[in-house]
């Protein structure tokens, strides 16, 4: 999606001071539901929220404006919840089925592990080939996604894979190994690796015409000589 993408209708609270440009309303909360997320390159994620009490839709609020419970943990700055600004104007929102509801934690800038539950992921790219790509969204060493985590302390966080750990009860051991991996820096492709070409072949099974020439004895059983010979 360009600029905006739909979000699951998640019930939450908006810190009222954010509805008054941080000038008043401190310490008060307003009920809300997320509507969309907005990605502007070089800025933090912006969330659009429906406020049922007012019938209003309020736009362009950062993650630090939201909590999911009234007894949240003090005041956390935006940079403690979101590590990176947006990389591109083109985004997608995906609720990763395998990760949904899994326990998660991330290592914050204040050097503490903050725990919570995985919700969904916001990812970005440079989707329009007619526009000069000035983003880092498709560079292997720089691309990062935003995993949205519902934190136990009442806040929400947006963290990349390499700052987050997921614990799966069925697969993870009690003691996890430390992922001391290297950042993936290689752009993988297959079409630039082989020298064969099929541009002159109009056959449906292009590139396998030698089957007729060298394997005529297997025409009644094309799998002859393989592990599935003679099977239906």
DSSP symbol at 81: H
Reply yes or no on whether the pLDDT at 211 is more than 60.
no
3-state SS assignment for residue 51: strand
pLDDT digits (tens, 9 = 90+) for 24-33: 999 999 999 9
Main-chain phi, psi angles of 164, to 5 degrees: -125, 145
Range of weakest confidence among 68-72, 106-110, 139-143, 215-219: 215-219
Which are the contacts of 121, defined by CB distance < 8 A and separation ≥ 6? Answer: 93, 94, 95, 96, 145, 146, 147, 148
- Side-chain half-sphere exposure of 154, counting CA atoms within 13 A: 16
Most confident of 97-111, 172-186, 187-201: 97-111
Give strand pairing partners of 113: 107
pTM of model > 0.95: no
Which are the contacts of 93, defined by CB distance < 8 A and separation ≥ 6? Answer: 1, 5, 6, 7, 37, 120, 121, 122
Q: Give the residue-averaged pLDDT of 103-111.
A: 95
Handedness of CA 73, 79, 83, 88 (dihedral sign): positive
Enumerate the H helices of the chain as residue ranges.
Answer: 78-81, 210-214
Main-chain phi, psi angles of 79, to 5 degrees: -65, -15
Radius of gyration, CA atoms only, the chain: 25
Angle at 191 between CA 189 and CA 193, to 5 degrees: 80
CA 186 to chain centre: 20
97 or 125, greater pLDDT: 97
User: What was the pLDDT predicted at 41?
Assistant: 87
> Virtual CA dihedral for 163, 167, 168, 173, nearest 10 degrees?
120
pLDDT digits (tens, 9 = 90+) for 145-192: 899 999 999 999 999 999 999 998 888 888 888 888 888 777 777 777
């Amino acid at each position: 999606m360009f600029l905006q993408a739909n979000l699951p209708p998640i019930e939450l609270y908006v810190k009222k001071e954010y509805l008054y440009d941080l000038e008043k309303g401190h310490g008060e909360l307003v009920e809300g539901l997320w509507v969309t997320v907005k990605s502007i390159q070089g800025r933090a994620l912006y969330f659009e929220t429906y406020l049922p009490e007012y019938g209003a839709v309020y736009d362009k609020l950062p993650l630090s404006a939201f909590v999911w419970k009234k007894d949240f943990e003090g005041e956390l700055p935006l940079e403690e919840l979101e590590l990176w600004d947006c990389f591109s104007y083109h985004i997608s929102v995906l609720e990763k089925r395998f990760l949904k509801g899994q326990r998660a934690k991330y290592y914050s800038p204040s050097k503490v592990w903050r725990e919570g539950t995985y919700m969904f992921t916001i990812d970005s790219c440079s989707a329009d080939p007619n526009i000069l790509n000035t983003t880092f969204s498709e560079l292997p060493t720089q691309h990062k996604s935003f995993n949205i985590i519902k934190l136990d302390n009442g806040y929400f966080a947006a963290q990349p894979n390499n700052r987050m750990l997921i614990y799966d009860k069925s697969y993870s051991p009690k003691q996890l190994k430390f992922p001391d991996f290297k950042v993936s820096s290689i752009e993988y492709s297959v079409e630039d690796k082989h020298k064969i070409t099929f541009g002159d072949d109009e056959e449906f099974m292009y590139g396998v015409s030698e089957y007729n020439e060298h394997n005529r004895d297997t025409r009644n059983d094309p799998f002859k000589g393989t592990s599935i010979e003679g099977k239906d």
